[in-house]
Amino acid sequence: MPFTPIHMGPGILIKAMLQSSFSLLVFGWTQIVMDIQPLIVLITGEGHLHGFTHTYVGAVLIAIFTALTGKYLSELGLKLLGISKNENPISIAWWVVFLSAFIGSFSHVLLDSIMHIDVEPFLPFLLDNPLLALISVPMLHKLCLYSGLLGAAIYYGINWRLKGIAK
């Protein structure tokens, strides 16, 4: 993907489907951490653009790191946004945090594997990238954009309906 925010489209759709069983904040944190290594390469001009962080082995390690750090960062973010109140704080369950981080890191590798020629997702087991050009880049961008729009519509539709039932 050209930049991390595009990866959020599928995450928004997953959030709509799983609701409180998925943390969009942890998923987003994972997207950011996944692209730190390529950002460093772009800034310094040295290294492999989509290196170890864009392999499934690297994705496992990143998911563990982002789960362990993302739980606390997300809970702090919810508090700062006023969504989590001191009298009734939101605590994100560990299984939700790990699920969100693993979905985030694995989906990131999958999407980048389709688009970028230098991604070797199955390294060190396979040097080839059988996912490259599985679909066209414009179609991939549309898929990410439309999944985000659909996810937002579903999420707000479900929550609007639930608020109507609660009255």
Query: Closest Cα partner for 112 from 25, 49, 29?
Result: 49
- Enumerate the domain spans of the chain: 18-135
Q: What is the pLDDT along the chain (167 residues), one digit of tens a residue?
A: 446 788 999 999 999 999 999 999 999 999 999 999 999 999 999 999 999 999 999 999 999 999 999 999 999 999 998 888 877 888 999 999 999 999 999 999 999 999 999 999 999 999 999 999 999 999 999 999 999 999 999 999 998 888 777 66
Q: 88 forms bridges with which residues in the sheet?
A: 85
State pTM to two decimals: 0.92
Secondary structure in 3-state letters for the chain: CCCHHHHHHHHHHHHHHHHHHCCHHHHHHHHHHHCHHHHHHHHHCCCCCCCHHHCHHHHHHHHHHHHHHHHHHHHHHHHHCCCCECCECCCCCHHHHHHHHHHHHHHHHHHHHHHCCCCCCCCCCCCCCCCCCCCCHHHHHHHHHHHHHHHHHHHHHHHHHHHHHHC
